[in-house]
Amino acid sequence: MPHDHDAGLAILTLQCPDQPGIVAAISALIAEAGGNIYGADQHTDRDSSVFLQRIELNGDIDWDLFRTGLAVLVDRFGFQWSMHAPDRRHSIVVACSGELYCAADLLSRVTLGELDCDVLGVVSDKPAAAALAERHGVPFVLVDGGLEGSDRAAQEAAFASALDTFSPELVVLARYMRILPEEITERWAGRMINIHHSFLPAFPGARPYLRAHQRGVKLIGATAHYVTAELDAGPIIAQGVATVSHRDEVEDLVRKGRDVERKTLADAVRLHLEHRVLVWDNRTCVFGE
């Protein structure tokens, strides 16, 4: 299947209580409006009776007719829906702390065209990221709160202000090592992705590689998830793993884990940008390619 950035391709995502006639009604509306279904995927969660669908559209669509007809279907089926315009680049902000490997990987992927988005800025509570942002021609904002972050309230306010100033569509926490207050997580609900260096729900919180080593695990992993007020407990988008053995020390786990973190975070960002992730009940439906 061609990728979403092919010319003229719009994306419709929707979810609602499962019931008869949904697919037929949506398909008929698209045809009536002059559109063509380029690709479609759907899922029904049996436990919660939720229907989720992602449709790729092209053609000479009468958008006024489509929106009018969609409003009728919303009343009939109780849709929650989003329409994403074709050929539109999305904007992100990358937030990081002192460890820059995930942020550097994301910026490189954007520069190389592997992630189809614009980076509006790099935000960090540590000055080390300034040179990285400069190399990629991206604005940098230091949000340390003064006196090396001793004033937590000031630091959180500076972080929130920077995000609001940039106003991105997505915030990516690329090893941003601060616990965010609820007012920030609620403000960016569904639009903020974090990478955690363990295979959640195992080893949430701090020092997961040390705890994994102490537990003698044979697999380590990384988890990219949407951020919620509860630490490391948001809806999971992507996960990756690497094998380890009794011969590996903590530093070996860290080295192997960093490669997994880079790829897992990049995968999650791409899935979000391509509108392949739908969330319900703190779970995700991730439509593949």
Q: How many beta carbons lie within 10 A of that of residue 82, not counting itself?
A: 13
CA distances from 201 to 20, 117, 220, 266 (A): 36, 30, 12, 20
Q: Which fold has domain 90-286?
A: Rossmann fold (3.40.50)
Rounded distance between C-alpha atoms, residue 266 and residue 94, angstroms: 12
Rounded distance between C-alpha atoms, residue 281 and residue 265, angstroms: 22
Q: Which CATH number fits domain 10-84: 3.30.70.260, 3.30.450.40, 1.10.3720.10, 3.40.50.300?
A: 3.30.70.260
Q: CATH 3.30.70.260 spans which residues of the chain?
A: 10-84
pLDDT by residue for the chain (289 residues), tens only, comes to 334 344 468 999 999 999 999 999 999 999 999 999 999 999 999 999 999 999 999 999 999 999 999 999 999 999 999 999 867 789 999 999 999 999 999 999 999 999 999 999 999 999 999 999 999 999 999 998 765 546 889 999 999 999 999 999 999 999 999 999 999 999 999 999 999 988 777 777 788 878 888 888 888 889 999 999 998 889 999 999 988 888 888 888 888 889 999 999 999 999 999 999 999 999 999 998 6
Query: Can you tell me whether residue 10 is helix, strand or coil?
Result: strand
Give percent of the chain above pLDDT 70: 94
Question: What confidence score (pLDDT) does residue 4 get?
Answer: 39
Query: Residue 164 catalytic?
Result: no
Rounded distance between C-alpha atoms, residue 187 and residue 172, angstroms: 14
Q: CATH 3.40.50.170 spans which residues of the chain?
A: 90-286
The kind and range of the H/E element at 16 are strand 10-17
> Which is catalytic among the residues 4, 125, 232, 248?
232
